[in-house]
Each structure stands twice: as C-alpha cells, then as structure tokens.
Structure 1
Amino acid sequence: MAKPFRDLVAKMSPEAQKKAEERTREHLLEMEIRDIRKALDMTQIELARKLRVNQAAISKMEHQSDMFISTLRGILSAMGASLKIVSSFPEGEVLINQFEDVRTERIKTEA
C-alpha cells in the first residue's frame, strides 16, 4: 500500500529534508507554462475561457518556445500572476520595466 509523502519525509534526516526543500524550490523557480497551469489545478479549457480562445490555442501556446511578451503576460495574468523580466549581469540583476503592462501604468497615473 502506498504511504503518504509526508510520512516518508518525516523519516528523512533533517539534512536530507533541507536538501529536498532546496531542490523543490529550485524546480518551482523553473517551470513551463503548462506546469504552472497544472500546479494551479487549472485545465486548458478553463484557461482558454479566461483568455477567450479555444483549448487548441492553449495547447499550441504551451508548446511554443518563442512567443510575444504580451501573449505570455496575458497567459500569466489569466492564471493570477504578473510578469517581471529580469536581466542578470555579473554585477547584479536589473528589472526591465519597458514591457510593463500599459493598463498598469494608467492605473498608477490615475490614482
């Protein structure tokens, strides 16, 4: 009979638990759109309805390795996230704000 995962983790040494948590965090930072959608327990059909497209369009988007920033922003927004583009230089990271959503800019100026 299968055991709950938390029972298996409880049997691990504290060092092994810490290492597993770190690896989990790393994997969560590197997810494809499809994996994010599944982690949110959202179907392609549900996402398609939010984006006002058909399910086939979602399937196609999830398999694209190159897409418009506006498309990616729309997909993430429909899943409840925002898009931030960060460039990594040897000296540090820089947030690229050139692609910030125009609607967000309007809200800021109207407030």
Structure 2
Amino acid sequence: MAEMALSELRRARGMSQEELAVVLHVKQPSIAKFEQRADSYVSTLRDHIRGLGGELDIIARFPEGEVKITNFGVFSSKA
C-alpha cells in the first residue's frame, strides 16, 4: 500500500490546488491550509478524497484483525 501526504496525492492525481478548490466549492487557500494540517475532521478529509476521485475508508487494526468503521458516512451534525 502506498503512503503519501495529501499534497502528494493531489499532485499524483494530476490536480492543482485551484482545481481541487473548484471541485470542493472552496477557495484555494483553504486547500493549502488543509494540506498543512496535522489534524482534521473525518468529514473534511472524506470530502477532500472524494474531490480527488477516491473514497475514504477508516480501518481499525487490532491483533485479532481489521475492522472497517462504517458510521462516519451517516453522521448528522444536528444536535
């Protein structure tokens, strides 16, 4: 499995920050800031990956095996 930073992934997908910003309906500086962050919301990361044409899977690894976490896609921000 390949490992790369978000900025490397974006470049590998052939997209500029400006192009990704258009897809995500944000401004380019937002993409630059996000790519520099060490921590972010799962929903923001998911949107970023989808904007690059991919899907985000969250996998928890335990000694007994792996578990794919599925409830991030159905989270509601309403309290």
Partner of 1:46: 19
In 2, Cα distance between the equivalents of 1:41 and 1:98? 30
State the percentage of identical aligned residues: 43
Deviation at 1:32, TM superposition (A): 1.3
| Higher RCO (CA 8 Å, separation ≥ 6 residues) | 2
In 1, Cα distance between the equivalents of 2:70 and 2:54? 16
Q: Which runs of 5+ in 2 are unaligned?
A: 75-79
Report runs of 4+ in structure 1 exceeding 6 Å deviation: none
**How many residues of Structure 1 are paired with residues of Structure 2 in the alignment?**
74
> What do residues 61-110 of structure 1 show as CA deviations (whole Å, max 9, x unaligned)?
000110000000000001010110000001111101121x23xxxxxxxx
SS in 2 for 1:36: helix
Partner of 2:32: 59
Q: What is the TM-score normalised by the length of structure 2?
A: 0.88
Q: Which runs of 5+ in 1 are unaligned?
A: 1-25, 103-111
2:41 is equivalent to residue 68 of structure 1: yes
Q: What is the TM-score normalised by the length of structure 1?
A: 0.64
